Every structure is written in C-alpha cells, then in structure tokens.
Structure 1
Amino acid sequence: MGDVFERFVNEYEQWFLKHRLAYLSELRAVKALLPEGRGVEIGVGTGRFAVPLRIKIGVEPSRHMGEIARKRGILVVKGTAEDLPLGDESFDFALMVTTICFVDDPLKALQEARRVIKNGGHVIVGIVDRESFLGREYEERREKSLFYKHARFFSTEEIVHLMKKAGFEDFRMVQTLFKHPSKLTDVEPVREGHGEGAFVVVRGKKN
C-alpha cells in the first residue's frame, strides 16, 4: 500500500494545490483539537499538516514522501504506524490525519500511538467519515482513485470504538467540510461533534 504513495507522490501533492480550501479547512479542524507539547505525526507524508502545525517529528514509510517532508524541515523517521521506531512515552501527543484508513492493522496502530505518548497525552485522528456525503462518494468511486482503492473507510463511531479498544478515553470531536471540496469558495467552519461534516477529527486521552 505504501508503494502507491511512493509512486504517485506528485499526484498526492497536486490534491492539496487543487483543493486548497478543503485542505485549509481540514487543517483548521485538526488545529482546534491539537494540544500543547511535543508531538509526532504518524504517516507524516510530505509534511502538509506537520509543518503548519509546528510538529517537528514524523513517521513515514514512503521514502519519496519522507524526502519532501525533510526538505520542509521535518525530522522524518522511516517506519510504519503498527511498529513505531519511537521510545515509550516520548511524546505529549500523536497525530494521524487520514492515515488510519491506509494502515494494515488500525488497532495495532492506535495501540502503538498510545505506547509512545505520555500518561495524560492525546491521540488525534482525522478521517473522512464513511457515513458522510464525501465518504459515500469516495466508496463509490474507489476503483477509479489512485489512492482510495487501497483505503478502508471508517465511520466516526468505528474510530471511537477502535480508540476505546486501544485504551483511550475522554473523547472530543470536531467536524468540517459541509460542502463538497470542489464547491468551496472559502475555508469551512469547524463545529463540535460529527454527523454533518465530511471531515471529522477525534481526540482521545491516555489516562
């Protein structure tokens, strides 16, 4: 699966340029739940989220994507979400933006995220909600997509269930993208909860 991101890194980068307002909306939603402290982004990609969010360290399996993130100032560690090459309790938070739908073992990835964050720290997971208008569209068109044909989409409830199984609690969530990315004329608002917006960010705490 990582091979897709290795081969189509230019197409990946183009998405952010073409859908800049959707990207900025997602960024705003993630920022709304981002705690203070030292963080790591798991599945840092080319650094599109880590850089503006001032996250200095990222884990990424794709060599090509990791190189771009390094050029943007991120310390990139090569590795997978299920086997993080990071020490126990070494971060205040771990961020995963649309990463969980591409990992082989989502529960193991969340357990690993829990291992590397301190007690009282958080994991923040951003997804395109499968139950949303955009999630349904992506599901229907997945075979025609370079990336999403390899994805497994989750509902917000499924993500919370997985996070609970991994040992997280005290959940908070926000949502954005109330219109289709192709129809945006401005950055979308961020609202509490889920069920309306296509992009949902869920934060859980390690107690």
Structure 2
Amino acid sequence: MAGFDAAVAARYDRFCTTPLGHYVDTVERALLARQLALVPGMTVVDVGAGTGAYSLWLAEQGARVWAVEPSAAMRAVAAAKALPPAVTLLEGRAEALPLPDGLADRVLLQVTLEFVDDPTRALAEAVRVLRPGGRLVLGLIAADGAWAAHYRARARREPAGVWARARFFTPEGVAALLPPPPPRAQGGLFTGPEEFTGEEPARTREARPPAGARPGFWALAWDKP
C-alpha cells in the first residue's frame, strides 16, 4: 500500500484518541464484533493490519492472530506496541497472503479493501485461507455515506495523499466479487464528520437514527461453504 508511511501511521493512531475517532472506533468495533462472533482459541487473519490496533483487540478476545501488513512503516508502529505472543506480524499483501489454505476460522479486512490494487484477488485470497465453515468479515466505508464523501473531498484537496487512491464499496458491489451465498450486512456510523458535535449526541443518533439516515460504515459477514 504505497503512501502508508510513518506520518500516516502516526495520524491514524492519534485520530483514535480524539472524541470523533473514539466514536468511530467504538461503533465500528461493535459492528465487527457482532459479525465476527469470536470464540476464544479461534485463528484470525487480520489483513491490512496497519498499526496493529485491531490485531491487539482480536488477541484480547482470545484469538490467535496473523497480522498481515504490506507497509514497513505501519508494521514498525505495530511492532513497537509490544504485541503479545498470540499475534504474529507478517509482511504481505492482501492479494498474495503468505499463509496456507484453510488456516483461519475468521479473516478480517477492516477498511482494507478500499486500498488494495486488486479487490477481486484480495477477496479470493481471503476465501482461500479460510477453512470450510469459516467467516470473512469486512469493514467498509459506505460508498454513499457521509464518511466516503468526506474522504473524496479530502482526496481532491490532497491529490498525493492516501485517500486519493481509495475506492469505496456498497454491500452489493462486494457481493458481486464473492462466491455465493451473499454476505450479511450491518450498517452504522450515522453521524458524519461534519455533523459531529460530541460523543453523546452521536451515540444518541446511533441508537435511534433518523428515518432515511444512511450508514457511514458497513460490517459484512460471508461464510465459506
């Protein structure tokens, strides 16, 4: 993932400590947790593991985690977090996972598909490393939501930045790239960055979204036959 340098890694971790970042992180983890349905002892592949935040979270729930990340800068930040023995950090791309067939009970791509060069190949690799009956879970920035609009505007302002190469998906678009059955989708993040005035109003809106509100984030689950 070209462009994911040390500065980007630092900004990502800082964002999660802000009120807006904390709201986003809390909502997304809750949606992903429901879709993952983890049981202690499961093997999970975290594709596009970034700075290791989700790998640590998965390990805290008792998972054995293979954290795959192409960016050396991101891996360095993750390694500096003193990852527990349950997490193995690997260099690798989503389109060519350095792991054997049928290894994983779960594969997680959290805001990863947006940045891969070949989404179809990345999903095929995720399916390959899943065992039969295993589950692929994707966290997606909703293509028609306020957050995707925000990042598109940012890309126009920063044409050399990482968001300039991002692509955004709908659940239907991802379903077209996967074998049957279609993935199950749960949406959330109903407060966009420009609407955010604090965590409490955002939580209230999350619990009772207005009629017609569009989610900013999708958590998809696909079970391998």
| Superposition TM-score, scaled by structure 1 size | 0.88
- Please list, as runs of the form range in 1=range in 2, the aligned pairs for 1:1-207 lying within 5 A after superposition: 1-18=1-18, 19-36=21-38, 37-54=42-59, 55=63, 56-70=65-79, 71-73=82-84, 74-145=87-158, 146-163=161-178, 167-181=179-193, 182-186=196-200, 187=203, 188-189=206-207, 196-207=214-225
Indicate the larger mover: 71-80 or 40-49. 71-80
| Superposition TM-score, scaled by structure 2 size | 0.81
Q: Check conservation: 2:145, 2:216, Cα contact below 8 A.
A: yes
Q: In 2 relative to 1, CA 46–150 (structure 1 residues): closer, same or farther, beyond 3 Å?
A: same
Q: Check conservation: 1:46, 1:68, Cα contact below 8 A.
A: yes
Listed as ranges, the gaps of 5+ residues in structure 2 are: none
- Residue 164 of structure 2 aligns with an amino acid whose one-letter code is K
Q: Check conservation: 1:31, 1:53, Cα contact below 8 A.
A: no
Question: 1 CA distance for matches of 2:114 and 2:5?
Answer: 13
Name which one, 1 or 2, has greater alpha-carbon Rg.
Answer: 2
Q: What SS does structure 2 have at the residue aligned with 1:2?
A: coil
Question: 1 CA distance for matches of 2:182 and 2:143?
Answer: 23
Q: Check conservation: 2:190, 2:213, Cα contact below 8 A.
A: no
- RMSD over aligned CA atoms reads 2.2
Q: In 2 relative to 1, CA 108–23 (structure 1 residues): closer, same or farther, beyond 3 Å?
A: same
Q: Residue by residue, what CA displacement relative to the aligned partner does 1:14-47 show, whole Å, maximum 9, x if unpaired?
A: 2212211111111111111113321110000111
- How many residues get paired? 202
Q: What SS does structure 2 have at the residue aligned with 1:169?
A: coil
Question: 2 CA distance for matches of 1:172 and 1:72?
Answer: 31
Question: 2 CA distance for matches of 1:53 and 1:127?
Answer: 18
Measure how far apart 1:100 and its partner are: 0.2
Indicate the larger mover: 141-150 or 124-133. 141-150
Question: 1 CA distance for matches of 2:95 and 2:139?
Answer: 17
Measure how far apart 1:170 and its partner are: 5.0
The sequence identity of aligned pairs, in percent, is 27
Question: 1 CA distance for matches of 2:173 and 2:182?
Answer: 16
Indicate the larger mover: 57-66 or 169-178. 169-178
Q: Residue by residue, what CA displacement relative to the aligned partner does 1:40-82 show, whole Å, maximum 9, x if unpaired?
A: 1000011122212324221001122112323233311100000
Question: 2 CA distance for matches of 1:190 and 1:153?
Answer: 25
Q: Residue by residue, what CA displacement relative to the aligned partner does 1:84-133 show, whole Å, maximum 9, x if unpaired?
A: 00000011110000100100000000000000010111110111111112
Q: In 2 relative to 1, CA 139–171 (structure 1 residues): closer, same or farther, beyond 3 Å?
A: same
Indicate the larger mover: 21-30 or 110-119. 21-30
